[in-house]
Amino acid sequence: TERLRVLLDTGASDIFIRNAEKLGVDLGNVDYVFVSHGHADHAGGLQHFLVKNQRAKVIVSPEALAGTFFSKRLCLHSITPAWPSELDGRTINVGGHACELEEGLRVIARIPSSRPKPQGNQRLYVQDVDGNLAPDDFRHEQALYVDGLLFTGCAHCGLENILEACPWPLHTVVGGFHLLDGCESEDELTALAMRLKAAYPHVRFYTGHCTGDVAFEVLHRVMGNRLFAFSCGESV
């Protein structure tokens, strides 16, 4: 923004740092790191970032930091990131459902579930207090709002739930929609696209990570020039 530089998630490794260098982006100038949820493919690179930047605050859910997460895709495996010790004293925990950290920088947490969540969540788990695996309810997921742009992370809570939880005016939504190919039917995806087009006629949607190619094509047939794919190095 005119005043702030915010890094939205960090990927699984230090690759984003190398990409930033190629793009001429100085990560030392970042003011905030926003971690959308507690999965390693979004938070695994945080330990590398904290070496490059010793001042940025990290916006992360306490449930993400405390959780132990697993996936049963292909085989049971951990998707819990290695949270770095350098986090001590640098985290910002969001209380309530929506708050403003400073002018223009707002976070939506504890996202309600009035609409269905993505079916791809069915193979994702969190370890409970007894050490057993329970379906992840994604209370650790949060969304970021800055100047009309809403960042959804993976939208495990459901894109429509996140949009409904946002009380501020929107012009752009960027992030994953967690619509994995083979999970939602074509009819379900078409219905979702029609609802988005009707409810948010002036909003542009950019998606890539965890939105399948087939799912994107189905959505795009309905949404047309309101839906775009993003890839590495792209500017919005």
What would the pLDDT profile of 40-50 be if each residue is shown by its tens digit? 999 999 999 99
Q: Is the pLDDT of residue 17 over 90?
A: yes
CA distances from 146 to 98, 101, 120, 137, 234 (A): 13, 11, 28, 25, 19
pLDDT of residue 231: 87
* E strand or H helix that includes residue 186: helix 186-199
What is the arithmetic mean of pLDDT over 109-116? Answer: 93
Q: What is the dihedral of CA 183, 185, 186, 191, to 10 degrees?
A: -110
Residue 214 scores a pLDDT above 90: yes
Compute the mean pLDDT over every residue in the chain, rounded to the nearest whole number: 95
What per-residue confidence (pLDDT) applies to 93?
87
Q: Please tell me the least confidently modeled range out of 19-23, 94-98, 221-225.
A: 94-98
* pLDDT for the residue 26: 95
Token duo for residue 130: 């007894």
